[in-house]
Amino acid sequence: MRRQEVSIADIARSAGVSHTTVSRALRESPLISPNTRGRIQRIAREMGYTPNALAQSLQTQRTSTIGLVVTTIADPFFSDVVKGVEGIAREAGFSVFFGASHNEPEQEMVLIDTFHRRRVDGILIASSRVTNYEQRLDHIRVPTVLINSQAQSQHKLLYRVAVDDYLGAQMAVEHLLQLGHRAIGYLGIQSRPYSNQQRLSGYQTALRAAGVEWRDDWIMIAPKEEASSGEDVNAGRELLPSLLDAGVTAVFCYNDMVAIGGLMACREQHIALPETLSIVGFDDVNAANFVTPQLTTIRQPKVQLGQLAMNVMLDLLDGRPGQDHILSPQLIVRNSTTPFTHN
Amino acid sequence: MRRQEVSIADIARSAGVSHTTVSRALRESPLISPNTRGRIQRIAREMGYTPNALAQSLQTQRTSTIGLVVTTIADPFFSDVVKGVEGIAREAGFSVFFGASHNEPEQEMVLIDTFHRRRVDGILIASSRVTNYEQRLDHIRVPTVLINSQAQSQHKLLYRVAVDDYLGAQMAVEHLLQLGHRAIGYLGIQSRPYSNQQRLSGYQTALRAAGVEWRDDWIMIAPKEEASSGEDVNAGRELLPSLLDAGVTAVFCYNDMVAIGGLMACREQHIALPETLSIVGFDDVNAANFVTPQLTTIRQPKVQLGQLAMNVMLDLLDGRPGQDHILSPQLIVRNSTTPFTHN
């Protein structure tokens, strides 16, 4: 199916003027009298003329488009980040190309190449897994902002907006320590290696500062599985029982979906929460509020992350200096954590 | 910041051949010897040349892009639909422009106009609220597929993929009737007028067929609020208590998020579920599994809806006849419904 576009030539024929006159009138050129401009613009409107953004882009070298890569849209964390990006982009007159990497570095590169072929002005990547951007970006030369990157690439066109995973983990574990827990486990995820490592380090730092020596079997890291929306929930559901066997009275989980999997495992085994086990998540996705008990968690400013990433991009595109940003997370205490009591 | 693109002229200079020769070599033209072609292609690769999809599109009149409008990405229902669309689009070599209408017909039209200016090949719209497409599409002339449309526009370029709301509602209420409930309420949402009306009608048809006369105060419809991810949950949370006051023993909710709001209201008021009240949702979003009790619901094939919509689009773009599709939903029985007992 091929569109029958209304062209400038069509309008010129209809108005009985030259191609150049139409073109000038539509660009509000002062070379055309206000009367003629008004008449031509009215005819163009009546004929359903829409300026071709593609043709304009080839002239200006700017497309007012950005490409956005997320791992999977089914992760509620990303829906808020996307919302933040999209809001700022729309206000600034940008359209957003969208793609899911499914947590695969190869797929991420395919999307970046596709976006580049479409001459996006910039690329935003959430939870990047690509480690060799240096080489790729030398070729692509597009401003790129990474949101909560999972890789440690460095490049002069590469900027970062992230939440402080290490600090967030410390806050979670300190909350549990203050409630009197000592045997505190960590339930992590291999598929997001960087933030998992940061959260594990924060957990260990907080325990060390409190003089608690953790046991190896207090720490469980789920191996990387095929990316799916259920991956994190399944990890929590499958691994939580072995932490209970290891004797922990509290667990800090990599994120809320892992924690919700943990809640499901406890429900299946009729384990009373939070009396038997205190659980802390990370992210503060909507579902953290819906589950029973409601989840104590470390809130990431998700919408703000997306907004900030797009604002950094707008700075770069306008020639202002780019800047990295590390945002602080926030402890949200709900009902899944309770003071430790000897039974 | 302006990109320094490697142009065909750059490659010509570097290879010491004419612009035309480079252009032909990159297009695999037989007018250039295989050796020269190979040499020029290697140089182009080494210099980091990427073909400009914009320039190609102006030649072919095809952009291999589609525009996708959802109401809000924060609704877990849409994340699965988007996943379905994106998967099929990527396989077919299409890129997806993305925008959120926030349930506002005006914003939906702004997005459609933007997509048109970008010369997308087609537009997919989830939960459309626009009622005057006829007029708009005569101007835009882009194949359009509506997913679960909330408006009743007719147009020759307009196709529909939807789930049978009326049937789903009947299935929900028949399930409750089979459990012995008679005083069954409906908790609806004004902001999605078409599917709300269909689900209300299905509810009424099922009760009528069972000889149950419903009372006016068994039916509560939440007024349209400003669109937000929490809108549906809040509606359920606020309105469920008045249905309990009206004496219902079971409630069919417009969707899972409304039902989850109902669960939260019961948790706050310490009302035992499902003993005091059976609750049925609609959609089968992930969270339906996470909440306590796990939600009995009507499953929409969400990923399949997105896939089917994109496949209809590909048919239209390839000149094959388009077709409307109505998919059947499925009853998923979990723990939020239980047989009626006299207390």
Dump pLDDT digits (tens) for B20-75.
888 888 877 778 888 888 898 888 888 877 777 666 666 667 889 999 998 877 77
Bridge partners (DSSP) of residue B123 are: B67, B144
Nearest to B1 among A54, A114, A317 (CB): A317
Could A98 and B86 be called an inter-chain contact, meaning their C-beta atoms sit closer than 8 Å?
A: yes
Is 90 exceeded by the pLDDT of residue B313?
Answer: yes
Q: What is the pLDDT along chain A (343 residues), one digit of tens a residue?
A: 334 567 788 888 888 898 888 888 887 777 888 888 889 888 888 887 777 766 666 666 788 999 999 887 777 788 889 889 999 999 999 999 988 888 788 888 888 888 888 889 999 998 887 766 666 666 667 899 999 988 776 677 789 999 999 999 999 999 999 999 999 999 999 988 899 999 999 999 999 999 999 999 999 999 987 555 578 999 999 999 999 999 999 999 999 999 999 999 999 999 999 999 999 999 999 899 999 999 999 999 999 999 999 999 999 999 898 889 999 999 999 999 999 987 5
**What's the confidence (pLDDT) of residue A41?**
85
Structure tokens of A219? 């720490």
Q: How far is Cα B73 from Cα A228, in angstroms, rounded to an integer?
A: 18
Domain co-membership, A135 together with A47:
no
Q: Is residue B134 part of a domain?
A: yes
Interface probe with B: pick from A64, A79, A80, A231, most Cβ of B within 10 Å = A79
Q: Do B54 and A119 touch (CB under 8 A)?
A: yes
Three-state DSSP class for B69? Answer: strand
Coil, helix or strand for B147? strand
Identify whether residues B169 and B153 lie together within a single domain. no
**Integer-rounded Cα radius of gyration of chain B:** 26
Joined tokens for residue A324 = 């990295």
Number of helical (H) and strand (E) elements in chain B, helices listed first: 13, 12
Tell me whether residue B58 is in a domain: no
- A292–B291 C-beta distance less than 8 A: yes
Q: What are the E-state strand segments in B184-247?
A: 184-189, 219-222
- CATH code of B31's domain: 1.10.260.40
Q: Which residues of A touch B51 (CB under 8 A)?
A: 117
* A255, A284: one domain: yes
Residues B25, B125 share a domain: no
| In a domain? residue A145 | yes
- CATH number (domain holding residue A271): 3.40.50.2300
For residue B70, what is the nearest residue in chain A, using CA coordinates?
A: A83
Strands (E), chain A: 65-70, 95-100, 122-126, 144-147, 158-163, 184-189, 219-222, 250-253, 278-280, 297-299, 325-327, 330-332
- Interchain proximity A86–B96, CB inside 8 Å: no
B16 phi/psi in degrees, rounded to 5: 65, 35
Q: Are A26 and A44 in contact (CB under 8 A)?
A: yes
CA distance B231 to B72: 11
Report yes or no on B255 lying in a domain.
Answer: yes
Of the candidates A287, A73, A234, A255, which has an alpha carbon nearest to the alpha carbon of residue B302? A73
B153 plus B38 within the same structural domain: no
For residue B89, give how far its alpha carbon lies from the nearest alpha carbon of chain A (Å): 10
Position B37 scores a pLDDT of: 87
User: Which amino acid appears at position A122 of this protein?
Assistant: G
Q: What is the DSSP string of A48-117?
A: T----HHHHHHHHS---EEEEEES-TTSHHHHHHHHHHHHHHHHTT-EEEEEE-TT-HHHHHHHHHHHHH
What is the number of domains present in chain A? 3
The interface pTM score, or ipTM, of the predicted complex is 0.79
Asked whether residue A130 falls in the same domain as residue A149, the answer is: yes
Task: Tell which of B70, B111, B118, B266 to mutate to test the A interface (max A CBs under 10 Å).
Answer: B118
- Confidence band of B158 (pLDDT split at 50, 70, 90): confident
Half-sphere exposure of A179 (CA within 13 A, CB side): 27
**Claim to verify: residue A184 and residue A80 sit in the same structural domain:** no
Query: How wide is the angle at C-alpha B263 spanned by C-alphas B262 and B269, nearest 5°?
Result: 90
Tell me how many residue pairs between chain A and chain B have CB atoms under 8 A apart. Answer: 160
Selection from B129, B131, B57, B144 nearest residue B93 by Cα? B57
Q: How far is A213 from chain B (nearest CA, A)?
A: 33
**Closest Cβ–Cβ partner in B68, B72, B317 for A1:** B317
Task: Answer for the pair A260, A284: CB distance below 8 angstroms, yes or no.
Answer: no
Q: Are the CB atoms for B233 and B254 separated by under 8 Å? A: no
* Closest residue of chain A to B86, computed from CA coordinates: A99
Would you say how long chain B is, in residues?
A: 343
Range of the domain at B46: 8-51
Residue A205 shares a structural domain with residue A307: no
- Kindly state whether residue B333 falls inside one of the protein's structural domains: no
Which of A51-65, B241-255, B257-271 has the weakest average pLDDT? A51-65
Asked if residue B186 and residue B94 are part of one domain, the reply reads: no
Contact between chains at A292 and B289 (C-beta distance less than 8 A): no
Nearest to A341 by CA among A180, A214, A212: A180
| A259: Cβ contacts below 8 Å, ≥ 6 apart | A187, A236, A251, A253, A279, A280, A281, A282, A288, A295, A297, A336
Asked if the Cβ–Cβ distance from A53 to B117 is below 8 Å, we say yes
Nearest-CA distance from A41 to chain B in Å? Answer: 15
B306 and B159 share one domain: yes
Cβ pair A3:B142 closer than 8 A? yes
Are B236 and B287 found together in one domain? yes
Q: Residue A260: which of B61, B140, B290 has the nearest Cβ?
A: B290
pLDDT of B11 over the 70 cut: yes
Q: Is residue B60 assigned to a domain?
A: no
Do residue B214 and residue B314 come from a single domain? no
Q: Rounded to a whole number, what is the distance in Å from the CA of A82 to chain B's nearest CA?
A: 8
Q: How far apart are CA B44 and CA A300, in angstroms?
A: 44
Can you tell me the distance from the alpha carbon of B299 to that of B165, in angstroms, rounded to the nearest whole number?
11
What pLDDT was estimated at residue A134? 61
Closest Cα in chain A, distance from residue B340 (Å):
24
In this structure, is residue A71 part of a structural domain?
yes
At residue A329, the pLDDT reads 97
Around Cβ A138, how many Cβ atoms within 10 Å?
12
Between the alpha carbon of residue A51 and those of residues A116, B61, B267, the distances in Å are 23, 14, 55
Buried b (16+ CB within 10 A) or exposed e, B109-146: bebbebbbbbbbbbbbbbbbbbeebeebbebbbbbbbb
Q: How far is residue B132's CA from residue B152's CA, in Å, rounded to a whole number?
A: 9
Q: Which of B99, B115, B264 faces A290 most closely, judged by CB atoms?
A: B264
The pLDDT of residue B227 is above 60: no
Question: Is the residue at A58 inside a domain?
Answer: no
- Residues B64-90 pLDDT 10s: 999 999 887 777 788 889 889 999 999
Q: Taking the model in full, what pTM does it have? A: 0.82
Give pLDDT, residue A2: 39
- Percent of chain B's residues with pLDDT above 90: 57
